[in-house]
Amino acid sequence: MAFPSDITLPNDARYYSFIETKRKYNSNYDIVWSFQYKLPSRTVQYALSNIEQPDYQVGFSTFLTTLSSPISALPGQYLGDSDPAWILSASKLTTEDNKSLLTEDGQYIEIGSRQLSGTLIKIAFDTTGYYAVSGRDSWTGVDVVDRKRESVILRDYNYNVVYNEHLSSISTSFSTLSTETFRTLRFRYVNLGQKLFIDYHDSDTTAYTTLTAIDLGFRLENYSNLDNIYCGFSFSTPVSTTAVDLSAREFYLRNFHIEGYEGYSVLTETVTSAEIPVNPNLTISTVSNITARDIQPSNYCDL
């Protein structure tokens, strides 16, 4: 099939995207999801740099979305995002039943000439760093020369890059995407979208380590219809090249698991405390006609 001109992939490129639609979650409450992946290493040593680097291009991402299926999703450096040219004018971000999403101060969330497939937030792990690069149709990002290899990248509901860091700069034990055993990634979307925690653990332990905590800088308004949030995943190898030998030979994904509140209503609980004891009223008598007189000092002497 023919892709837009800025996507460069060989005919044998592998890419897919899926959304878990069996359950939808209410983002007035925390949403936590996780999965396990394995990406066996394959490196090549470059003579000029004398540094071993991955001999493949891989990008995978996970996201929260209001849509039950991708719209005009693109592979390569877009990792399943919609074509930036799909929407040419500003529009309000809505749920599937056409309810507009609002920020905490009551402002509509508007999207300009780019649409993130209804996505509220998308977290990408990219060996090339191309997911953070700017592109056509006002697609915001960094210059291609400033991209960060082996990085974690986050774009918000308006496609802005809000996080872009080398893995090696935030972790010594998780400095590259390759892993010979299954690695677990966990994502905690909390406080109505104000913060995201990314945790991980390798196969030799069940204790999570926090990779990073990101302040997202916005909060969705707490209203009753924000209850159909789905979770998804996308993958592409290679990311931006015509060289088919830069595709990863194997990539394994399993145990995609989501936890959150499934329901329409926002639940509240009335908390009561024990009655505060008080002293009983005392009988008080009123005394009137009281006068005061001056008391003159008396003479005294030292003993």
Q: What is the pLDDT of residue 303?
A: 45
Point out the least confidently predicted range of 158-172, 208-222, 277-291: 277-291
Residue labelled with tokens 């291009």: 57
Report residue 18 as tokens. 């899926």
| Beta bridge pairs of residue 33 | 187, 258
Structure tokens that stand for 290 in this block = 């009281």
Whether pLDDT at 215 is above 60: yes
Kindly state the average pLDDT of the residues 288-294: 63
The helices-and-strands tally (H runs, E runs) of the chain is: 1, 15
The answer to whether 56 touches 246, Cβ cutoff 8 Å, is yes
Q: Which two tokens stand for residue 169?
A: 């700069």
Query: Taking 90 as the threshold, does the pLDDT of residue 184 lie above it?
Result: yes
What confidence category does residue 156 fall into, taking pLDDT thresholds of 50, 70 and 90? confident
- Structure pTM? 0.75
- CA 214 to chain centroid: 8
Residue identified by tokens 């090339």 is 128
> Does residue 82 surpass a pLDDT of 70?
yes
Q: Is the pLDDT of residue 153 over 50?
A: yes
- Winning range, highest mean pLDDT, from 10-24, 31-45, 112-126, 134-148: 10-24
User: Which pLDDT tens digit goes with each residue over 34-45?
Assistant: 999 999 987 554
Q: Give the separation between CA 29 and CA 39, rounded to whole angstroms.
A: 32
Tell me the H-state helices in the chain.
167-170
pLDDT given at position 224: 40
Q: Taking the mean position of all CA atoms in its chain, how far away is CA 303?
A: 88
Gyration radius (Cα) of the chain, Å: 30
